[in-house]
Amino acid sequence: MSSSIRPPVPESTPRDRALFRVNPMSYLAVGILVLAILWPVAAYPVALGWLVLVPLGFGWWVARTWTRVDDEGVQLSSWRRRRTVPWAQVKGVMFPKAGFARLVTTTTASLPMGGVSFHDLPRLSAASRGRIRDPYAAD
Protein backbone atom coordinates (compact mmCIF):
# COMPACT_ATOMS: atom_id res chain seq x y z
CA MET A 1 0.00 0.00 0.00
CA SER A 2 1.11 3.48 -0.79
CA SER A 3 0.97 6.36 1.65
CA SER A 4 -0.25 8.67 -1.11
CA ILE A 5 -3.78 7.29 -0.95
CA ARG A 6 -6.16 9.84 0.53
CA PRO A 7 -9.70 9.27 1.73
CA PRO A 8 -12.36 10.44 -0.73
CA VAL A 9 -13.80 13.91 -0.29
CA PRO A 10 -17.61 14.00 -0.32
CA GLU A 11 -19.04 15.69 -3.40
CA SER A 12 -21.11 18.03 -1.26
CA THR A 13 -17.97 19.55 0.23
CA PRO A 14 -17.21 22.71 -1.74
CA ARG A 15 -13.64 23.61 -2.62
CA ASP A 16 -14.06 27.10 -1.19
CA ARG A 17 -15.29 26.51 2.37
CA ALA A 18 -16.09 30.21 2.87
CA LEU A 19 -18.42 30.55 -0.15
CA PHE A 20 -22.09 29.71 0.26
CA ARG A 21 -24.25 29.42 -2.87
CA VAL A 22 -27.82 28.52 -3.69
CA ASN A 23 -28.12 24.78 -4.32
CA PRO A 24 -27.03 24.10 -7.93
CA MET A 25 -30.00 21.75 -8.31
CA SER A 26 -32.03 24.94 -8.72
CA TYR A 27 -30.80 25.03 -12.31
CA LEU A 28 -32.88 21.89 -12.81
CA ALA A 29 -35.95 23.98 -12.01
CA VAL A 30 -34.82 26.46 -14.67
CA GLY A 31 -34.68 23.63 -17.20
CA ILE A 32 -38.12 22.38 -16.19
CA LEU A 33 -39.54 25.90 -16.54
CA VAL A 34 -38.05 26.17 -20.04
CA LEU A 35 -39.64 22.86 -21.02
CA ALA A 36 -42.96 23.89 -19.49
CA ILE A 37 -43.20 27.13 -21.47
CA LEU A 38 -41.94 25.80 -24.82
CA TRP A 39 -45.33 24.62 -26.03
CA PRO A 40 -47.35 27.77 -25.16
CA VAL A 41 -44.62 30.10 -26.47
CA ALA A 42 -44.31 28.12 -29.70
CA ALA A 43 -48.09 28.22 -30.18
CA TYR A 44 -48.53 31.95 -29.42
CA PRO A 45 -45.09 33.60 -29.69
CA VAL A 46 -46.36 37.17 -29.89
CA ALA A 47 -48.68 36.93 -26.90
CA LEU A 48 -46.61 34.62 -24.68
CA GLY A 49 -43.05 35.34 -25.75
CA TRP A 50 -42.43 37.24 -22.51
CA LEU A 51 -42.67 33.93 -20.59
CA VAL A 52 -39.09 33.19 -21.68
CA LEU A 53 -37.99 35.86 -19.18
CA VAL A 54 -39.27 33.83 -16.21
CA PRO A 55 -36.67 31.00 -16.34
CA LEU A 56 -33.98 33.48 -17.39
CA GLY A 57 -34.75 35.62 -14.34
CA PHE A 58 -34.72 32.64 -12.01
CA GLY A 59 -31.40 31.46 -13.46
CA TRP A 60 -29.97 34.97 -12.95
CA TRP A 61 -31.10 34.90 -9.32
CA VAL A 62 -29.51 31.48 -8.70
CA ALA A 63 -26.23 32.56 -10.29
CA ARG A 64 -25.98 35.91 -8.48
CA THR A 65 -27.08 34.94 -4.96
CA TRP A 66 -24.19 33.97 -2.68
CA THR A 67 -22.44 34.75 0.61
CA ARG A 68 -18.70 34.75 1.31
CA VAL A 69 -17.13 34.90 4.76
CA ASP A 70 -13.53 36.09 5.09
CA ASP A 71 -11.23 37.98 7.49
CA GLU A 72 -12.61 41.41 6.50
CA GLY A 73 -16.27 40.55 7.01
CA VAL A 74 -19.27 39.06 5.27
CA GLN A 75 -19.82 39.69 1.56
CA LEU A 76 -23.43 39.40 0.46
CA SER A 77 -24.58 39.20 -3.13
CA SER A 78 -28.16 39.31 -4.31
CA TRP A 79 -29.65 39.60 -7.77
CA ARG A 80 -29.59 43.39 -7.46
CA ARG A 81 -26.39 44.32 -5.65
CA ARG A 82 -23.38 43.27 -3.62
CA ARG A 83 -22.34 44.58 -0.24
CA THR A 84 -19.67 43.91 2.36
CA VAL A 85 -20.42 44.07 6.08
CA PRO A 86 -17.27 44.36 8.24
CA TRP A 87 -17.03 42.19 11.35
CA ALA A 88 -17.29 45.26 13.58
CA GLN A 89 -20.87 45.75 12.34
CA VAL A 90 -21.97 42.11 12.63
CA LYS A 91 -24.18 41.40 15.64
CA GLY A 92 -25.21 37.86 14.79
CA VAL A 93 -27.13 35.52 12.52
CA MET A 94 -30.76 34.51 12.73
CA PHE A 95 -32.49 31.64 11.01
CA PRO A 96 -36.12 32.31 10.05
CA LYS A 97 -38.52 29.41 9.56
CA ALA A 98 -38.38 29.82 5.79
CA GLY A 99 -35.70 31.13 3.50
CA PHE A 100 -32.03 31.83 3.96
CA ALA A 101 -30.26 32.90 7.13
CA ARG A 102 -30.22 36.62 7.90
CA LEU A 103 -27.24 38.65 9.06
CA VAL A 104 -28.12 41.02 11.90
CA THR A 105 -25.97 44.15 12.09
CA THR A 106 -25.33 46.58 14.94
CA THR A 107 -27.79 48.97 13.28
CA THR A 108 -30.40 46.17 13.72
CA ALA A 109 -30.63 45.77 9.96
CA SER A 110 -31.40 42.24 8.82
CA LEU A 111 -29.71 41.27 5.56
CA PRO A 112 -30.39 37.99 3.71
CA MET A 113 -27.39 35.65 3.51
CA GLY A 114 -27.98 33.94 0.17
CA GLY A 115 -27.11 30.26 0.16
CA VAL A 116 -26.76 29.95 3.95
CA SER A 117 -29.22 27.73 5.78
CA PHE A 118 -29.30 26.21 9.25
CA HIS A 119 -27.42 23.07 8.22
CA ASP A 120 -24.52 25.30 7.09
CA LEU A 121 -23.96 26.59 10.64
CA PRO A 122 -20.85 24.43 11.39
CA ARG A 123 -19.24 25.45 8.11
CA LEU A 124 -20.21 29.09 8.68
CA SER A 125 -18.63 29.01 12.14
CA ALA A 126 -15.41 27.50 10.79
CA ALA A 127 -15.22 29.99 7.91
CA SER A 128 -15.74 32.93 10.27
CA ARG A 129 -13.08 31.54 12.63
CA GLY A 130 -15.50 31.50 15.54
CA ARG A 131 -16.93 34.99 15.05
CA ILE A 132 -20.25 33.32 14.29
CA ARG A 133 -20.58 30.67 16.94
CA ASP A 134 -22.04 27.21 16.42
CA PRO A 135 -24.04 26.52 19.59
CA TYR A 136 -24.18 22.79 18.85
CA ALA A 137 -20.43 22.28 18.44
CA ALA A 138 -18.58 20.35 21.11
CA ASP A 139 -16.23 22.76 22.88
Give pLDDT tens digits for 81-136.
Answer: 999 999 999 999 999 988 899 999 999 889 999 999 888 888 899 899 889 888 87
**Strand ranges of the sheet holding 101-105, from the earlier edge strand across to the other edge:** 90-94, 101-105, 110-113
Q: Where are the domains of the chain?
A: 19-64, 67-132
pLDDT digits (tens, 9 = 90+) for 15-62: 566 899 998 899 999 999 999 999 999 999 999 999 999 999 999 999
What is the predicted pLDDT for the residue at 130? 87
What is the predicted pLDDT for the residue at 77? 93
Rounded distance, CA 66 to CA 116, Å? 8
Give every CB contact of residue 103 below 8 A, 6+ residues apart in sequence. Answer: 74, 76, 85, 90, 93, 110, 111, 112, 113
Note the pTM of the prediction, 2 decimals.
0.77
pLDDT digits (tens, 9 = 90+) for 13-26: 555 668 999 988 99
